[in-house]
Structure 1
């Protein structure tokens, strides 16, 4: 078996109903994952993801808002009982807002941090317990190059993604004693519904400026998903506390 394979691994993925989360689900399935536990709010879109998976992949779904789910541990425990203990976790759920600072509010910061940061760390806390995890596990958090470089109108979003990177590093140190590796992945602009919505909001001229900043062009969701598959696999068994930048050259400038 290739060290890059996810054979015999059960992976839990948030935000699995679209974009990077959907692509991570498909690529984990294509790379041999034994089972997936997929979490999203939109049941109809999540079922579309399920239909894209390899036939051999066992799949369980959880329809929930992970920022307002008091019984999330119970839901996860129920699925673990069905498909087995978790070997990998990808936190893909996220929201993006591009607004001038004068339109930022405390509620905006709260909303963005609740999804992008807090919910992912809360699920990591659950999955770090022996009763839910395999002997060796890997956690991957989707961050963004916006957490590394400044961008106009993204104060709240950039702050949340920077928090993901730094938080993941501390988790890596703390959870290494439990044989859990923790890393983050920082994409630049990727062709997802979030990007389409942002381009609609900022107009053609600003959109073209963003495109020019990507030497290899806008990325596809599978470009990020493949990086996540690597970090989940045994090929990355000596990688923890890292932030893998997948940005088509954006941050090299």
Structure 2
């Protein structure tokens, strides 16, 4: 049996409408998983679903997970159809690069709400026996910005550091329920978020950032492959860790 296979596993993925979340959805489907795709934009979620392996069982939840009182009910409906959750990837997130003088309490709040709180709240739901498989794996997408300092990213870096620390605590608490919890910290990945950031900071600053990645800018599939490992039985003894996928960025 292939230890890296996701066959007979149902995986819930937030932020599945674009970027890393879309790539994770496609690659998980290729590994045999059934999928619950979560995001705000139903049209983009349908586009993601259209890119999955043809025989993939898939359900969609088009909701703003930061303001949804019914997210548990929606998850319960999908679990009733697809089966209990074996894996969870929290890809949903926002990034903002601004000098500290332009940071505001609202900015911190907005970033933490989606990057940290929404993911942990869904993990709380998925840790309940009525929704989880006998064994399951939760993966939170953090960032190297949560490990090393980057100018203009106080709020974003703080949120991603919180993801790493929180995931470790969840790993300790949820292990008794046979739930493994890990985070992944990518450096710059070629996504719409990166494109917008490069537009904000200009060509010269963008070139400097690219130079800091010895293996170049990463692709969404690089993160998706790491997620598949952590979700699979091949990682059955891996919990409470932060897997760095950064093309050498943080080694300098």
Same fold per superposition (TM over 0.5): yes
Q: d(CA) in 2 for partners of 1:44 and 1:248?
A: 33
In the TM superposition, 1:80-229 aligns within 5 A as 80-229=79-228
Q: CA deviation at 1:219?
A: 0.1
Q: CA deviation at 1:45?
A: 1.0
Q: Deviations over 1:110-147 (max 9, x none)?
A: 00000000000000000000000000000000000000
Q: d(CA) in 2 for partners of 1:216 and 1:100?
A: 28
Q: d(CA) in 2 for partners of 1:156 and 1:111?
A: 9
Q: d(CA) in 2 for partners of 1:13 and 1:208?
A: 32
Q: CA deviation at 1:68?
A: 0.2
Q: CA deviation at 1:11?
A: 0.2
Q: Deviations over 1:133-180 (max 9, x none)?
A: 000000000000000000000000000000000000000000000000
Which 4+ stretches in 1 moved above 4 angstroms? none
The DSSP-based 3-state class of the residue aligned with 2:87 is: strand
**Unmatched 5+ stretches in structure 1:** none
Q: Deviations over 1:26-75 (max 9, x none)?
A: 00001111x10000001111111001000111000000000000111000
Q: d(CA) in 2 for partners of 1:240 and 1:112?
A: 26
Q: CA deviation at 1:17?
A: 0.3
The DSSP-based 3-state class of the residue aligned with 2:148 is: coil
Q: d(CA) in 2 for partners of 1:9 and 1:236?
A: 14
Q: d(CA) in 2 for partners of 1:186 and 1:6?
A: 22
The DSSP-based 3-state class of the residue aligned with 1:139 is: strand
Q: CA deviation at 1:238?
A: 0.1
Q: TM-score, normalised by structure 2?
A: 1.00
Aligned match of 1:4: 4
**Unmatched 5+ stretches in structure 2:** none
Aligned match of 1:16: 16
Q: d(CA) in 1 for partners of 2:44 and 2:127?
A: 28
Aligned match of 2:27: 27
The DSSP-based 3-state class of the residue aligned with 1:62 is: strand
The DSSP-based 3-state class of the residue aligned with 2:20 is: helix
* 1:249 equivalenced with 2:209 (yes/no): no
